[in-house]
Amino acid sequence: MATQEEIFKKVQSTLVDALGVDEEQVEPGATLQGDLEAESIDFLDIVFRLERNFGITIPRGELFPENLTSDPSLISDGMLTPKGIEELAERMPYADMTEFAKNPEVDRIGDLYTVDMLVRYVASKLASK
């Protein structure tokens, strides 16, 4: 069984290859879009690489959920409602919602995609193999 550190190292090299960033930039708390400048198409590339590098299968929408904000009843004044936050947490169980929940602006949802989130996701996939 791979340790957290081993998984982190492999996720780190995956992101270095996918995003052309330096190893030092890929810190546990780094956000994929904000800090590592990932664009939407990079998410597909990251999914491909994680599957190959870890030998796991990532069903569509499981790691990077789609249409997160398509239900207008979950949004009010550009913020997720408590029900919206609940639903988001359900769809992104590997994301750390603590900071986001304090200021749940829709535009900040992208900040939930962090290096740490990927590590937690991969660890759970490997554990269930």
Residues that bind other proteins (CB under 8 A): 17-18, 20, 41-42, 44-45, 47-48, 51-52, 60
What is 64-83 written as a DSSP string? S-S-TT--GGGEETTEE-HH
In whole angstroms, the minimum distance from the beta carbon of 17 to other proteins comes to 7
44 contacts 50 by C-beta, under 8 angstroms = no
Q: Which is nearer to other proteins, 57 or 103 (CB)?
A: 57
In whole angstroms, the minimum distance from the beta carbon of 52 to other proteins comes to 7
In whole angstroms, the minimum distance from the beta carbon of 58 to other proteins comes to 9
Q: Which is nearer to other proteins, 48 or 99 (CB)?
A: 48
Tokens at 127, concatenated: 């554990």
What whole-number distance in Å separates Cα of residue 103 and Cα of residue 3? 33
